[in-house]
Amino acid sequence: MNEIEREQRFGAHNYSPLPVVLSHGKGVWVWDVEGNRYLDMMSAYSAVSHGHAHPRLVAALTAQAQRLAVVSRAFYTDRLGAFLERLCDLTTLGGALPMNTGAEAVETAIKAARRWGYSVKRIPAGKAEIIVADGNFHGRTTTIVGFSSEPAYRADFGPFAPGFVRVPFGDIDALRAAITPNTCAVLFETIQGEGGIVVPPEGFLRGLRALCTEQNVLMLLDEIQSGLGRTGRWFAYQHEGIVPDGVMLGKALGGGLLPVSAFVARRDIIDLFEPGSHGSTFGGNALAATVALEALDVMADEDLPGRSAEMGEYLLSRLHAIHSPLIREVRGRGLWAGIEIDPARADAHDLSMRMLRRRVLAKETRSTVLRLAPPLVIERAEIDMCISALKAVLAEAESEAESQA
Ligand SMILES: *Cc1c(COP(=O)(O)O)cnc(C)c1O
């Protein structure tokens, strides 16, 4: 039995991985068990923004693992406070609640929003509503998939929690019309990731900020994928110079080594949690706090948001310069690009497979978008390699489609 067969035989089939068995990684590169090297243009959906096995992060992880890792939040540690303080400094918000996975940070935001709705806005018991977007992705808990618009995420997992209203993404008028006296919050990704790298129209975030303030509704942004340098700023909402009432972080926060997430919000929102109201055995543990703080320090010291802006501009300009009938549109910001493929001419999954054969790891999101989201430490020459592979793959797919027609 090889590794693929073993995983298939003993595991659940909730993923369909590309057929490559990886064994180690360094920076933007990963190697398979046969020693072949691949360019990682996906970086685990932004979890590996620092690159694989960043030496400073591995050193911080190793040293802290030998000192103290998990004691639960029943006790204070000498590691957590500095991490929370840094999150507040970076966001200019007043408090942070650490969790592990992204979905848990989103669940925390939902709890905070509802509490605020009842205790501050005085919404009648059980009536609080949260407005979310079509095409959203916020994780996989039953509450979260309950307000997804993607049938594959929901099928046969109901009944779902009520209290969510969906509107088109990036449409301020639809949003205004959906707000009622029972609306406690708007929960959006700043740029939709799994939905296909969907950038809202210029001015949308400023409009959203003004509308939420005017209507007394919390503005909560999920920056789990878009945050921490991915779009060329620390947070994608900074492109429009606004500050939300609460933000969810995850993925890159763990430095590519551990699951670390957080809900960071205004102090009065964070203060709605009293002892016993919420928690997590592993959330904010000393090892996670150490690695996450080091991940934020590395991000600042290496100016990864600045690199993302510069290299992202280069990546997007090279993508826009590709003229292929298979491409309908190229979208993106920073080192985050979505290439919309014409489904009548090619299949994004097939293109991922072809990229794999050329030793570039990329994966489609939804069925029509090829996503490129490399580690933020990528160099120009490596972007060039990716572009050459992509051009070759597009040409190959186009000529095969023609010969079949
Ligand atoms: C990945 C993701 C999540 C969920 O994070 P997990 O760590 O997989 O639970 C939530 N929101 C967004 C925008 C994401 O991209």
Pocket test for ligand 1, best of 150, 225, 231 (most atoms within 8 A of CB): 225
Condensed to tens digits (0 to 9), the pLDDT of residues 317-361 reads: 999 999 999 999 999 999 999 999 999 999 999 999 999 999 999
Task: Compute the distance from residue 345 Cα to the ligand 1 centre, in Å.
Answer: 31
Three-state DSSP string of the chain? CCHHHHHHHHCCCCCCCCCCCEEEEEECEEEECCCCEEEECCHHHHCCCCCECCHHHHHHHHHHHHHCCCCCCCCCCCCHHHHHHHHHHHHCCCEEEEECCHHHHHHHHHHHHHHHHHHCCCCCCCCCEEEEECCCCCCCCHHHHHCCCCHHHHCCCCCCCCCEEEECCCCHHHHHHHCCCCEEEEEEECCECCCCCECCCCCHHHHHHHHHHHHCCEEEEECCCCCCCCCCCCCHHHHHCCCCCEEEECHHHHCCCCCCEEEEECHHHHCCCCCCCCCCCCCCCHHHHHHHHHHHHHHHHCCHHHHHHHHHHHHHHHHHCCCCCCEEEEEECCCCEEEEECCCCCCHHHHHHHHHHCCEECEEECCCEEEECCCCCCCHHHHHHHHHHHHHHHHHHHHHHHHHC
Per-residue pLDDT band for 132 (boundaries 50, 70, 90) equals: very high
% residues pLDDT > 70 (the chain): 100
Atom of ligand 1 nearest to the CA of 100: 7
Same domain, 279 and 346: no
Mean pLDDT along residues 5-31: 97
Task: Compute the distance from residue 262 Cα to the ligand 1 centre, in Å.
Answer: 12
CA 220 to chain centre: 15
Evaluate if residue 265 carries a pLDDT over 80.
Answer: yes
Condensed to tens digits (0 to 9), the pLDDT of residues 276-317 reads: 999 999 999 999 999 999 999 999 999 999 999 999 999 999
Same domain, 323 and 403: yes
Same domain, 219 and 339: no
Evaluate if residue 405 carries a pLDDT over 80.
Answer: no
Same domain, 294 and 324: no
Say what the pTM is: 0.98
Atom of ligand 1 nearest to the CA of 261: 7
* Residue-number span of the structural domain to which 341 is assigned: 315-372+390-405
Same domain, 279 and 337: no
Same domain, 280 and 321: no
Same domain, 365 and 271: no
% residues pLDDT > 90 (the chain): 98
| pLDDT recorded at residue 402 | 84
Per-residue pLDDT band for 86 (boundaries 50, 70, 90) equals: very high
Ligand 1 first shell, C-beta below 6 A: 45, 101-103, 106, 137-139, 189, 193-194, 222, 224-225, 250
Same domain, 113 and 259: yes
| pLDDT recorded at residue 185 | 99
The residues pairing with 222 across neighbouring beta strands, listed in sequence order, are 189, 248
| pLDDT recorded at residue 165 | 98
Same domain, 75 and 115: yes
In a domain, 308, yes or no: no
Same domain, 126 and 165: yes
Mean pLDDT along residues 245-261: 98
Atom of ligand 1 nearest to the CA of 189: 13
Task: Compute the distance from residue 225 Cα to the ligand 1 centre, in Å.
Answer: 7
Atom of ligand 1 nearest to the CA of 103: 9
Last residue of a domain, one of 275, 301, 327: 301
Condensed to tens digits (0 to 9), the pLDDT of residues 145-178 reads: 999 999 999 999 999 999 999 999 999 999 999 9
The residues carrying an active-site annotation are 137, 222, 251
Q: Which of 375, 389, 395 is nearest to 51 (CA)?
A: 375
Last residue of a domain, one of 249, 275, 301: 301
Task: Compute the distance from residue 2 Cα to the ligand 1 centre, in Å.
Answer: 30
Mean pLDDT of the chain: 97
Mean pLDDT along residues 48-73: 98
